[in-house]
């Protein structure tokens, strides 16, 4: 049996009907919005699944017991739960969180508060032993930052409304130079560039960004079918203006599933994997520097080293992308393909997640 699995379901002590449960949750949410309620350092997001499995070990108990509870909200450092009995503050808890893609992640923590709501209902406040990424579990926590360069003010406003409707954070720029400056100084998940207007210089901005080693995703917007073929350094072209469905698809593409190590449940390797994941952004920056310098031989060697390390630490998708990058470096005439491969590797690295803490808090 793998870690985190159990032979039986947990005991459900919460004495409440489904309709009443929704009413209680709604009332708690309304109370949380009152000005008098203190604000946490980390934002909490709605995380209302039918049930979650938790293991609670109260002070003095030799072992913990499994229970079914109702989740209320989730943040980077904790979770709110509804339970059917009193739990002492300081009790150790292991929460089996479910990701948006259906996998289970064990997260250790401690019960900080237990508040009586009404007969048979208590609200537990849990603090996690280590931070998590709420975006892996809550739709409301998933957001994409988008810089938009559009010559037509009305079309630009329309694009912004479409993107904001799917929880994107939109930053509008008016010139190609402003796009270059902001894209380098700030981190955007996506650049949307008007390729039709020569006045704002969208195409030239893309060329300069790529020349400086920018690896972020760039989507060109054009009303002309042949204009896309003239801009080889963009990742994708869409109609100008595009439909909301196309913008929804773009945003969803920027929210891929998290990648976890094949060894994430091995306590002997947890700290090593955490260090490996923490070092990935720096290794990608080194690769970017080699590409800008035109050192394809050094880039190939660094890509191979990263691929070998990724395989050792249980990240086969990262290894596959690193191997593809190394292969592309063998052809000095395919610098555009090399850049695309490096961008793909960079995106995968952003998806890598360290193991969650499963030790007793």
The pLDDT of residue 229 is: 44
SS3 60: coil
The pLDDT of residue 16 is: 59
SS3 97: strand
Q: At the fourth CATH level, which superfamily is domain 11-137?
A: predicted glycosyltransferase like domains (2.40.10.220)
* Residues with Cβ within 8 Å of residue 344, at least 6 apart in sequence: 321, 324, 325
The pLDDT of residue 227 is: 52
The pLDDT of residue 217 is: 87
CATH of 143-253, one of 3.30.365.10, 2.40.40.20, 3.40.1160.10, 3.40.50.2300: 3.40.50.2300
* Residues with Cβ within 8 Å of residue 237, at least 6 apart in sequence: 195, 219, 220, 221, 222, 227, 228, 231
The pLDDT of residue 241 is: 81
Smallest CA-to-CA distance from 6 within 70, 52, 49 is with: 52
The pLDDT of residue 39 is: 54
Distance (Å) of CA 324 to CA 59, 260, 318: 52, 20, 10
Per-residue pLDDT of the chain (361 residues; tens, 9 = 90+): 344 444 345 566 665 555 566 666 666 665 555 444 445 566 888 887 888 999 999 999 989 999 999 998 999 999 999 998 999 999 999 999 988 767 788 899 999 999 998 888 899 999 999 888 888 888 778 788 999 999 999 999 999 999 988 888 999 999 999 999 999 888 898 999 999 887 888 989 998 998 887 888 899 999 876 554 445 578 888 998 888 899 888 887 877 777 889 998 788 998 999 999 999 999 999 998 999 888 999 999 999 999 999 999 999 999 999 999 999 999 877 787 898 899 889 888 988 888 865 544 4
CA-to-CA distance for 42 and 212, rounded, in angstroms? Answer: 35
What is the model's pTM?
Answer: 0.60
Kindly report the CA angle at 340 between 237 and 181, in degrees rounded to 5? 70
The two tokens of residue 159 are: 């694009």
Distance (Å) of CA 103 to CA 5, 69, 169, 318: 12, 18, 27, 20
Q: Tell me the domain boundaries of the chain.
A: 11-137, 143-253, 280-351
Helical spans, DSSP H, in the chain = 18-32, 153-164, 176-185, 202-211, 244-253, 270-292, 296-312, 316-328, 335-351
Backbone φ, ψ for residue 61 (5° rounding): -80, 140
- 8 Å CB contact between 124 and 69: yes
The pLDDT of residue 206 is: 92
The pLDDT of residue 301 is: 96
Residue 356 falls in which region: left (phi positive, over 0), alpha (psi -120 to 50) or beta: beta
């Amino acid at each position: 049996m793998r870690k985190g699995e159990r032979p039986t379901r947990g005991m459900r002590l919460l004495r409440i009907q489904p309709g009443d449960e929704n009413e209680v949750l709604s009332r708690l949410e309304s109370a949380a919005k009152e000005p008098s309620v203190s604000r946490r350092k980390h934002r909490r997001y709605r995380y209302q699944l039918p049930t979650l499995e938790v293991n609670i070990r109260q002070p003095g108990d030799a072992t913990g017991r499994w229970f079914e509870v109702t989740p209320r909200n989730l943040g980077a450092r904790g979770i709110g739960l509804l339970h059917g009995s009193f739990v002492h503050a300081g009790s150790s808890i292991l929460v089996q969180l479910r990701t948006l893609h259906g996998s289970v992640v064990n997260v250790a923590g401690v019960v900080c508060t237990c508040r009586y709501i009404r007969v048979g209902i208590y609200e537990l406040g849990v603090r996690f032993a280590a931070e998590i990424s709420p975006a892996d579990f809550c739709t409301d926590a998933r957001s994409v930052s988008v810089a938009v360069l559009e010559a037509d003010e009305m079309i630009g406003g329309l694009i912004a409304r479409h993107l904001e409707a799917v929880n994107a954070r939109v930053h509008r720029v008016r010139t190609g130079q402003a796009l270059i400056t902001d894209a380098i100084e700030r981190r955007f998940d996506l650049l949307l560039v008007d390729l039709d207007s020569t006045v704002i210089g969208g195409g030239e901005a893309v060329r300069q960004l790529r020349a400086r080693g920018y690896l972020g995703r760039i989507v060109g917007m054009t009303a002309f079918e042949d204009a896309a073929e003239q801009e080889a350094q963009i990742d994708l072209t869409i109609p100008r203006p595009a439909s909301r469905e196309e913008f929804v698809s773009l945003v969803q593409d920027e929210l891929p599933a998290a990648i976890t190590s094949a060894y994430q449940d091995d306590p002997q390797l947890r700290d090593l994997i955490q260090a490996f994941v923490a070092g990935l952004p720096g290794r990608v920056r080194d690769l970017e520097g080699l590409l800008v310098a035109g050192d394809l031989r050094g880039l190939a060697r660094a890509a191979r080293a990263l691929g070998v390390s990724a395989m050792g630490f249980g990240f086969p998708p990262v290894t596959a992308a690193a191997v593809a990058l190394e292969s592309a470096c063998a052809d000095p005439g395919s610098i555009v393909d090399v850049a695309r491969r490096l961008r793909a590797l960079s995106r995968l690295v952003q998806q890598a997640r360290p193991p969650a803490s499963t030790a007793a808090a």
